[in-house]
């Protein structure tokens, strides 16, 4: 029991210390932060984000967030920079350096080299009196009084506040740029949001064979068609036009009310005037029709109103639309 208590107390202490440090960041959002944001916003080049140790890992995450929210960014490890990677920095780039202490050996070597190239330097540090802070053009103060580590050694609180300040930086830039969800989708075409913005019905219907029968098709063949195409439905067509739909539910109801099937055809079982959607419609529009009508399949038609295929609810789920 004492071991459990020790674990829980340690975890809660860590969360409390980091929570307090993050809460304190609001007091550090000032004109200096705004200046740093504007340096990036007005820059003609990219943002180069650099750091060493755990700060380098946080730098990589900030790069990913900036890139996905409209600010072109590149990660450059501070140690690698002074051993050949300094060429990553181009003429109009802004460099953001992350360092909790602001006094690491790599930073002290790197900053003069960047300044010699006349690039703007933004410091993100916990120490406003550090070498990094004093030699930067703008300062983002990511202050952490102490680490959550009981020995005040392992980077914990300090990296958490860097991460939060990085998000604040990225989203301040997002707001300035008027970056919309449509813009976000352009950078995430494979994600759920991107698919919601771009995926169309014609891309979904190609996932399956097209179930189709005529009004005169015997009911046995209708059942085989539905079973083979594995969509739980078939369209009933004449000259390419949809005249009805038969679902596996229609088949079950037919079996409950008919003992003799030999004289039944698709026309005697089908539902007329089924819901349809244009092949060029968005997948989200198909989902709306399915949900509003409490159905799981929807027939698609082309520009000439000919039958084109089936949209199934399961396809929308697989694509992350639902």
Task: Work out the average pLDDT over 206-216.
Answer: 92
Is beta strand 138-141 parallel, antiparallel or unpaired with respect to 120-125? Answer: parallel
Q: What is the largest CA-CA distance in the chain?
A: 92
The pTM of this model reads 0.69
pLDDT over 60 (residue 1): no
pLDDT tens track for 39-94: 999 999 999 999 999 999 999 999 999 998 999 999 999 999 988 899 999 999 99
What's residue 155's pLDDT?
93
CA-to-CA distance for 193 and 113, rounded, in angstroms? 41
DSSP string, 181-237: HHHHHHH-TTSHHHHHHH-BHHHHGGGS---EE-TTSBHHHHHHHHHHHTSSEEEEE
* Residue range 2-179, CATH number: 3.40.50.10490
What's residue 192's pLDDT?
58
pLDDT tens track for 256-278: 888 777 889 999 999 999 999 99
CB 103 within 8 A of CB 132: yes
pLDDT over 80 (residue 195): no
What's residue 161's pLDDT?
97
Confidence of residue 191 (pLDDT cuts 50, 70, 90): low
What's residue 100's pLDDT?
95
Confidence of residue 107 (pLDDT cuts 50, 70, 90): very high
Task: Work out the average pLDDT over 175-188.
Answer: 79
Q: Hey, what CATH class is 198-318 in? A: alpha beta
Question: In terms of DSSP H, where are the helices of the chain?
Answer: 2-24, 31-41, 54-68, 78-81, 105-116, 131-134, 157-177, 181-187, 192-198, 201-204, 219-229, 248-257, 266-269, 283-293, 313-318
H-helix or E-strand spanning residue 137:
none
pLDDT over 60 (residue 300): yes
- How do the domains of the chain map onto residue ranges? 2-179, 198-318
pLDDT over 90 (residue 157): yes
Mean pLDDT of the chain: 92
Asked whether residue 77 is marked as a ligand-binding residue, the answer is yes
Confidence of residue 2 (pLDDT cuts 50, 70, 90): confident
Confidence of residue 185 (pLDDT cuts 50, 70, 90): low
């Amino acid at each position: 029991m004492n071991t459990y208590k020790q674990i829980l107390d340690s975890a809660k202490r860590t969360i409390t210390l980091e929570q307090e440090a993050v809460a304190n960041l609001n007091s550090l959002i000032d004109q200096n932060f705004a200046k740093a944001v504007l340096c990036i916003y007005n820059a003609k080049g990219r943002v180069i984000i650099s750091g060493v140790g755990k700060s380098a890992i946080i730098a990589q995450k900030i790069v990913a967030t900036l890139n996905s929210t409209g600010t072109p960014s590149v990660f450059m490890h501070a140690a690698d920079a002074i051993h050949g990677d300094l060429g990553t920095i181009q003429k109009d780039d802004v460099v953001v350096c992350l360092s909790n202490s602001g006094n690491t050996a790599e930073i002290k070597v790197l900053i003069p080299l960047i300044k010699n190239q006349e690039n703007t330097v933004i410091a993100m540090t916990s120490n406003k009196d550090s070498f990094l802070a004093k030699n930067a053009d703008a300062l983002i103060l990511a202050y952490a009084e102490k680490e959550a580590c009981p020995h005040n050694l392992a980077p914990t609180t300090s990296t958490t506040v860097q991460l939060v300040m990085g998000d604040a930086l990225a989203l301040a830039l997002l707001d300035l740029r008027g970056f919309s969800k449509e813009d976000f989708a352009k950078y995430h075409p494979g994600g759920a949001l991107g698919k919601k913005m771009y995926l169309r019905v014609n891309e979904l219907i190609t996932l399956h064979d097209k179930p189709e029968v005529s009004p005169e098709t015997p009911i046995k063949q209708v059942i085989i068609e539905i079973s083979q195409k594995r969509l739980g439905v078939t369209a009933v067509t004449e000259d390419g036009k949809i005249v009805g739909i038969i679902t596996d539910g229609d088949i079950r109801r037919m079996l409950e009310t008919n003992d003799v099937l030999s004289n039944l055809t698709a026309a005697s079982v089908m539902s007329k005037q089924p819901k349809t959607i244009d092949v060029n419609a968005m997948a989200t529009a198909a989902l709306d029709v399915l949900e509003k009508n409490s159905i799981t399949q929807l027939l698609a038609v082309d520009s000439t109103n000919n039958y084109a295929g089936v949209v199934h609810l399961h396809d929308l789920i697989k694509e992350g639309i639902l």
